[in-house]
Amino acid sequence: MRSLTYLLCVLSSSILLACGGGGGDGGTPTPTPTPTPQPTQNVQAILIDSGPATASGQSGNAVNSPYVSVTICSPGSTSQCQTIDHILVDTGSSGLRIISSALSSSMTLPAQNAPSGNPLAECARFADGYSWGSVKQADLRIAGEVASNISVHIIGDSAFPSVPSGCSGSLVAENTVASFHANGLIGMSTFIQDCGSACAGQALEGWYYSCPGGTNCTATTLPVATQVANPVAAFPQDNNGTIIQLPSIGANGAAGVTGSLIFGIGTQANNKLGSANVYTLNSAGNLSVLYQGQVMQAFFDSGSNGLFFADSTIPACSNSSGFYCPLSTVTRNVTNTGLNGVSNIVSISIANANTLFQSNPNNTAFNNLGGGAAVASYFDWGLPFFFGRSVYTALEGTTVAGTAGPYVAY
């Protein structure tokens, strides 16, 4: 498409020059107007389906998983590139992570090294498991945006077979497409780096590792500039945050839901803050919620497939691990309060997960799916919250519409 666009521009310029030099009246030619720069394409389509095919060719059976396609290139190259679909959109973490098996064998990416000069590896610990692999350098292309020469976590890299105990602990390994339910993840939280100054100042278990020969890995410090980071911050423009827009869906869910991932807030005509309320966050990226008389911390995480919170009055499912299964749909009110004092009451519905899945086997999106707290004493605003809303995530260190990030808005 770029070659075609360039060719059309050349042809148009030739026509303009031919017309401008015509007439034969000896007068001064009319100057060609300076073209108005066009805004960068900043919208990437989101698809919520059953996930990528696994190595056995089976569907991933994912629900409430928002996916995008990204293009990975060797740094500085426009020819050694690969487009990878089913990359999970995650506002609860920072950084681009790709399952190694999703990369073509012909895709060569340079390794990122630890300060010791040894190959660098990383451990990413999520609420439900851990992912281990190398760190390499790549260019990311998504919509019309480009993040050049960023650090990328390559999960399940066979060149790094030994997982340190400080990474795995008692968590379940999520190093394959089947266990990750995605070909990778694009983390776009309010934080720029995934670890930040803590990892720059000391070697922390469960983060970055120096691995001579890919083995005998030991925890290492890592400068902020080379850490795996939110790629949005590396864009030349539209780099202060994101917007996720998803349509409303019914109580029985829906199949093949599509939406938009929009880059930038207040940088173009299509990403204005408008009438959305802004909720500023604390240094941990959380705000306060009031639920059933209890005050707790909350975070917004599009990578979580349900609303996760503790409520002993809602029965847990017997065969849908982690989800709630009330006898009938229950409704609760939750009050969000930002650090800036802005509050909003959100009404949520929690349906019986077993019934939802059994009665709607082809549906992959549900707005009433919930479960027990994945992180104790926290309220996880997972993907059900995003349906029917435009949810803004503003990066730390930025000021958007007069308000300093980090914040969320909706």
158: left (phi over 0), alpha (psi -120 to 50) or beta: alpha
Taking only the tens place, the pLDDT of each residue in 269-316 is: 999 999 999 999 999 999 999 999 999 999 999 999 999 999 999 999
CATH of domain 275-409: 2.40.70
pLDDT-derived band at 38, boundaries 50, 70, 90 = low
Taking only the tens place, the pLDDT of each residue in 46-69 is: 999 999 987 666 677 899 999 999
Separation between Cα atoms, residue 89 and residue 185, nearest integer Å: 6
One fold for 43-234 and 275-409: yes
Is the pLDDT reported for residue 266 higher than 50?
Answer: yes
For residue 284, the one-letter residue type is A
**Domain-wise residue ranges, the chain:** 43-234, 275-409
Task: Kindly calculate the radius of gyration of the chain based on its CA atoms and give it in whole angstroms.
Answer: 23
Q: What is the pLDDT of residue 319?
A: 82
CATH of domain 43-234: 2.40.70
From residue 357, alpha-carbon distances to 60, 62, 184, 354 in Å are 15, 11, 25, 5
Q: Look-up: residue for tokens 């190595």?
A: 55
- Read off the pTM: 0.89
Classify 92 as helix, strand or coil: coil
